């Protein structure tokens, strides 16, 4: 997966987490963003 796609997915997940009213969806988007960020760091640094 290209790094650009990972960064785009992080941006989309963050935006969805910002816009949804549900606390559960905000938490899930935060977890998804964290996982994608960790994977992106792994790809860049590893």
**What pLDDT does residue 2 have?**
86
Q: For the segment 4-41, what is each residue's pLDDT rounded down to a tens digit? A: 999 999 999 999 999 999 999 999 999 999 999 999 99
**Contact assessment for residue 10 and residue 33, using Cβ atoms and an 8 Å cutoff:** yes
How far apart CA 2 and CA 15 sit, in angstroms, is 20
| CB under 8 A, 24+ apart: contacts of 18-22 | none
Chain centroid to CA 6: how far?
A: 8
> Who wins on pLDDT, 2 or 20?
20
């Amino acid at each position: 997966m290209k790094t650009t796609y990972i960064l785009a997915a992080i941006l989309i997940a963050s935006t969805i987490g910002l816009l949804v009213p549900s606390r559960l969806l905000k938490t899930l988007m935060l977890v998804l963003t964290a996982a994608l960020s960790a994977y992106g760091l792994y790809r860049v640094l590893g």
